[in-house]
Amino acid sequence: MKKYIEIDSFYINHSKAVSKVAYFRGYSKTLDNYSTAIEFGTLDWEDFNSYIEKKEGKNFSYIWYRKGAKYAYPGKETEKKVPITSYLMKQLIFFIYWLFLLIINRFCKYIIKHKIKE
């Protein structure tokens, strides 16, 4: 279900080499007394700010949340359903890279093994 909540604190992690992109995580007392993390993920600063609304010095955002869940995900006011396809596509690209590297690794090991035998 989508909720509009106040986000009390943020965890922001970024490297000095890549200053445009950072990893964002938020916490809110409204969500199980800070036990649920709001996973914004790795975004650039403009995308992150598009999720946050500032009112009276406080940060508010729409989030997709299920009671008792460990994680919640940011949402937009216009979204009617959980944008699971976009989230899965972001996660799927890492799996494709991992699989590609595994295949290359095994291929290199195979070639090296047969070159040594000759």
pLDDT tens-digit readout, 67-115? 888 888 888 777 777 666 666 666 677 788 889 999 999 999 999 888 8
CA 71-67-35 angle, to 5 degrees, is 50
pLDDT tens-digit readout, 100-109? 999 999 999 9
Strand partners of residue 38:
26, 72
19: left (phi over 0), alpha (psi -120 to 50) or beta: alpha
- Cβ atoms of 34 and 55 within 8 Å: the answer is no
Query: In the chain, what is the greatest distance between 2 CA atoms, to the nearest angstrom?
Result: 74
% of the chain beyond a pLDDT of 70: 87
How many residues comprise the chain? Answer: 118
